[in-house]
Amino acid sequence: MDLYVIARLVHILSACVLFGSGAAIAFFMLMAWRSGGRAGFALVARHVVLADWLFTASAVVIQPLSGIALAHLAGWPLTAPWLLASYGLYGFIGACWLPVVWIQYRVRDRLVAEEGEAAPPEVHRLMRIWFVLGWPAFAALIGIFVLMITKPGF
């Protein structure tokens, strides 16, 4: 295999990890929140924080590195309009993801610190923000996939 094929494989696999871990984390966190049980929700929140660092964060680092390598190896200018749009969407996703990570930590800590069966009101407020931030981030990620596939204007 040549270097281009390896870079492309790494880029595609890390995109799959980014999308898949994000979807799985969102699903399990949402289901745990909706369950209404504090103990189960706390357990899921603890594992979600870990999964975000193991899978999502590693893919977040690998994506731009492999993408720049791939563009260079393919001879695409790093200022191609579709790449500039991808960078913008990636930055937007990061602007949504960083508060989500903070919220997940806060939710986890509040669920562990609180007594009782139900999650405290602050957790529900934070989860509503978490939920709202997830939708535009996923839409932007799909937008990046469309740009990677179609490369408009190139």
Q: Which long-range contacts (CB under 8 A, 24 or more apart) does 28-37 make?
A: 29/104, 29/127, 29/130, 30/131, 33/119, 33/123, 33/124, 33/127, 36/118, 36/119, 37/117
Which pTM does this prediction carry? 0.90
Q: Do 57 and 118 meet the contact criterion of CB atoms below 8 Å apart?
A: no
- Regions of the chain where pLDDT drops below 70: 154
* H helix or E strand, kind and range, residue 93: helix 81-113
Tell me 119's DSSP state: P
Would the CA dihedral through 58, 63, 68, 69 be positive or negative?
positive
pLDDT of residue 154: 65
Q: Do 124 and 86 meet the contact criterion of CB atoms below 8 Å apart?
A: no
